[in-house]
Amino acid sequence: MKNVQFATFGGGCFWGVEKFLQEIPGVIDAVSGYAGGDLVDPSYTDVCGGRTGHAEVVNVEFDAAVISYSLLLEKFISKYGKTSSSNLDSVSQYRSIVLYRDSEQEEATKKVFAKIEANGGKKIATQIAALEKFYPAEDYHQDYHGSCRKEA
């Protein structure tokens, strides 16, 4: 029986993050988009302009009966987590960020970070914030799987 849940992560250009997450067993879908900022219904041009506060993120639909939120987060952090403290203050659309949906995800995120830091010795400087709203990116950004490029 499926246990469908959602998670939202940002780690740079959303195309690479989307492809990485889609290849993890238990992930049902991954949708590129924007979150973490103030502008309502932003466009790619708005976000790339750097004035919205939004990050390029991926909204992940996953089956928690196959992969837990914590394990999915560990895989994301192993590839896209940052250790440079400058990321904590970044408002770049390419910053590393975990956007939790509820207190359970918030607590799980803190536990995963503590576990990784205890095992690796470096403090994780990926931002953690509550998800206010996820805005899907334009259709041409979905399932792109190419290298990052500027919009023409």
Residues taking part in catalysis = 13
User: Starting at the edge strand that comes first in sequence, how are the strands of the sheet with 127-130 ordered?
Assistant: 127-130, 96-100, 4-11, 55-63, 27-35, 135-136
Q: Please, which residues have CB within 8 angstroms of residue 68's CB and are 6 or more apart in sequence?
A: none
Which residue from 32, 10, 42, 12 is spatially nearest to 148, judged by alpha carbons? 12
Burial track 52-63 (b if 16+ CB lie within 10 A, e otherwise):
bbbbbbbbbebe
The residue written with tokens 């403290």 in the block is 85
Question: Given the DSSP bridges, would you call strands 55-63 and 4-11 parallel, antiparallel or unpaired?
Answer: antiparallel
